[in-house]
Structure 1
Amino acid sequence: MAYYRRRGCNCKNKKKCTCGAKWSFSVDIGIDPITKKRKQKTASGFSSKKEAQIAAEELEKQIRDKTYIEVTEQTLKQFIDEWSESVAKNRMRESTYYNRLGIINNKIVPVLGYVKIKDIEPSTVQSYYNKLINEDKLSTSYVRTIHNLLSSIFKYAKKWDKVKVNIMEKVDAPIPNHKEMKTWNKDEASKFLDATKDAPTHIAYVLAVYTGMRMGEILGLRWKDIDFSNQTIHIVQTLVRIDGGFTFQEPKTRNSKRQIAIDDYVVSELEKRKEQQETNSELVVTTGIGTPYSPRNLQRNFNMLIKKAKVPKIRFHDLRHTHATLLLKLGEHPKVVSERLGHSKISVTLDTYSHVIPDMQKPTAKKFSNLLRGQNVVKEDK
């Protein structure tokens, strides 16, 4: 049942009010499951009792049909805290969870965290993205990560009836900027490895160039993961940074957990490293006292050795790209390259290294032309 009131009306004849006082109504919306007390919804600002009655009847219908949503008064930060404990912590890998938590606390909360979630508009989020890209100079891939986080947060806000609509459905994700991939050619890769052969970290660069392993996979590699007799490396764990420290965890995907074939040279370099290692650490790449080598320090070491070798500056991760690019230019099948890299699908490999495809097409075009014109065609045995 609805209750109607006309607030602030001092007119003697209530039916012919001239003071402009507005009507309001109150409707019972159920019992609070925690306090066990009756809950009411009050709305005001109606010019006439008829308007208030129409609105009250619509609300009562929503309550009967169980379509009524009581929009939360929570701020975005308050809801994120709830979402983080209930969803993110259980659905994300530990390293991913802490990484995303850092993005939330450093980028999202300072700008949007203290706004009520019901008051955030699509245009507000879109302007926020523009600021991050144009003023803060963040990469579009980083801002897309923020977009994915906000999309998940608002998806659950809608699912849990905290808001009536998911505003992120109206927000456009930033278009990714595809930067030109930087890789070394075979001469540059060889020059770098020659210049770093006396460095304690040399084996890390050998593994990166000759196997395409990720940095975390190299830093997590143990001696027991290497089958010297069969010349294979088993990728079963990776070193990750979590909440200011380091830990080991399984690779992200089923394909990342893989075997990589190595040749005599890599085997000999691994054996040399094992002989030179001053501690009995189970890890292949360690500090001088046998502790795990941090990714940040390895990147710094890599940058220093690049200057020494006088080769073009690239990131450590670009050694992985170098490995893949050189293999594809050699004519290796993309499926084999995909397996070595641990990609989830061969399409990922083809999309990532599409810059190599034009060079690979030249001999193909020549072969096809020769076939049709009957030149230099090797006939199959019948």
Structure 2
Amino acid sequence: MARRPKGDGSITELPNGKFRVRIEVEPVGDKRKWVSKTVGCISEARKVLKELERQKEDNKLIEAKKEKFKDIVEMYLKELEESGEVKETTQWGYKMFLSKWLPYLEAMPIQKITSRLLDKIMMDWKTQYGVNSILSYRRALSCLFTFAIKKKLINRSPLKDSKRIKNVSTKKYLEIISPEEHEQIKRVSYGDFESFLNTGRATSKTMMFPIYMLAYETGMRRGEIAALKWSSVDFKQNTIFVESNMVHVAGKGTFETTPKTESSVRPILISESLLELLRTIKDTYEKFNIKATYLFVGQKHTCIIPSQIGDNFKEIKEKAGITRPLTFHDIRHTNATILLTKGFNTKVISTRLGHSNIAVTLDTYSHVLNATMQSAVGFLEEQSGHYSVTMGS
């Protein structure tokens, strides 16, 4: 059978009666490369050649390289780091999520990974991890395959043909701190704070009273609180400026980063009582010659690790005799719930909390808004009187 000109595709009949279809692809270095397929009959061979020519014309025909999955992961993470477009915490998240795939795919060429194999791995995971965790691992892998397509290592993600995993909402009824619990927490945490006022011994524990009071009044996240500097406080305008977020990444330590979203950068107006509490801390630092850049510092007068705030709150909660599930983040929910139930404007609350948009606030606190609306309907019914009327005969 006649061959086509050099560079074009060709069909060759093999000794076993089958047909080999071959087409040249973009060379790697100085060496010419081809993609080939073997089929059973001439008519099928012509169809395959036509399809390969179409793919080549559309730049979708890629010579199969032999990079292993592990190598592609390293390339991808390196590019994320060098691009400077992704936060270090996000990079760390991708690294953790992709590491879940390594025991199964580490030495496998990325071109050999199939949707069937990925489905089997994710099916096995269902006995170890929750659905939302598996979805996170899947999303990270999808980003990796997109990277591989961009680098012309594959032309299609095997996840495109994998089975869909239904998202399971983990939203629970938000835990709210009651007025009684609030007083108990204040009482327990103030004991340690008083020790700081008397001795100047600053630790993550002795700082918990002002940290708690700040979170209760502002709804700030613990990373935002840990990153607050004295330069962020305007004592004349009664305002705190949230400008950064403190994070802790395993192997890299504790450091400041940009806030969660653009909307998280915000001014928060605070009460005179809270401002006076901050003045007391500042005066105590000066009294004991503590050089502190941050509002709340630990033993070495450096920043507090956000996770320490969560651990300390758990300990305070238990000392206060509160046995139900309650986390530091629930202080934020308490703040929002109080404001919503008192009828404050939702947009104002959303801005104060640093939500990316008002829809996040409406979705997160929909149960509070529904209860408020039911109260409003009852109030309107009471004000407008009974709706039944007696018609004359």
- TMscore range, shorter length: 0.7 to 0.9
Deviation at 1:342, TM superposition (A): 0.2
Q: 1:187 to 1:86 in 2, by over 3 A?
A: same
Residue 210 of structure 1 is matched in structure 2 by: 217
Tell me which amino acid in the other structure corresponds to 1:47: G
**Partners in 1 of 2:380 and 2:45 — Cα distance?**
79
- For 1:223, the equivalent position in structure 2 comes to 230
Any gaps of 5 or more consecutive residues in structure 1? 10-19, 376-382
Contact 2:68/2:109 (8 A) holds in 1: yes
How far apart, in 2, do the equivalents of 1:62 and 1:191 lie?
70
Distance 1:68-1:298 versus aligned 2 partners, 3 A rule: same
Question: Which of 132, 143, 154 is the matching residue for 1:163?
Answer: 154
- Residue 68 of structure 2 is aligned to residue 75 of structure 1: yes
- Counterpart of 1:28? 24
Aligned in 2, Cα 1:119/1:223: closer, same or farther, shift over 3 Å? same
- Contact kept, 8 Å, 1:72 with 1:162, in 2: the verdict is yes
Counterpart code for 1:346? I
Correspondence for 2:33? 39
1:308 matches 2:319 = yes
Residue 353 of structure 1: aligned partner: 365
Select between 252-261 and 113-122 the one with higher mean Cα deviation.
113-122
How far apart, in 1, do the equivalents of 2:376 and 2:252 lie?
51
Who is 2:128 aligned against? 136
Q: CA deviation at 1:214?
A: 0.5
Distance 1:187 1:89, change over 3 A: farther
Matched, 1:248 2:256: yes
Q: 1:257 and 2:265 equivalent?
A: yes
Rounded to whole Å, the distance in 1 between the matches of 2:12 and 2:123 is 46
1:176-191 aligned at under 5 Å gives the runs 176-191=169-184
Q: Distance in 2 between matches of 1:56 and 1:128?
A: 34
Distance 1:369 1:84 in 2: 60
Moved more, 49-58 or 310-319: 49-58
Q: Aligned residue for 1:317? A: 329
Query: 1:143 touches 1:174 (CA, 8 Å); kept in 2?
Result: no
Quick check: 327-336 or 232-241, which moved more? 327-336
Aligned length: 357
* Code of the aligned partner of 1:345: N
Paired amino acid for 2:358: I
**What's 2:277 paired with?**
269
Residue number among 145, 162, 168 corresponding to 1:154 in the alignment: 145
What does residue 102 of structure 1 align with? 96
Distance 1:173 1:232, change over 3 A: farther
- Residues 154-163 or 250-259, more deviating: 154-163
Residues 62/328 of structure 1: CA separation in 2 closer, same or farther (3 Å cut):
closer
Match of 1:293 among 290, 304, 328: 304
Q: State the one-letter code of the partner of 1:369.
A: E
SS of residue matched to 2:217? helix
Q: Which runs of 5+ in 2 are unaligned?
A: 5-9, 193-205, 388-393
Q: 1:55 to 1:143 in 2, by over 3 A?
A: closer
Provide the secondary structure at the position in 2 that maps to 1:197.
helix
Local SS of the residue matching 2:262 = coil
TM-score, with structure 1 as normaliser: 0.83
User: What is the CA RMSD across the aligned residues, in angstroms?
Assistant: 2.7
Q: Distance in 2 between matches of 1:177 and 1:130?
A: 20
Measured against aligned partners, the alpha-carbon deviations of 1:324-378 in whole angstroms (never above 9, x if no partner) come to 1122122222112111110011110010011212321233103432565499xxx
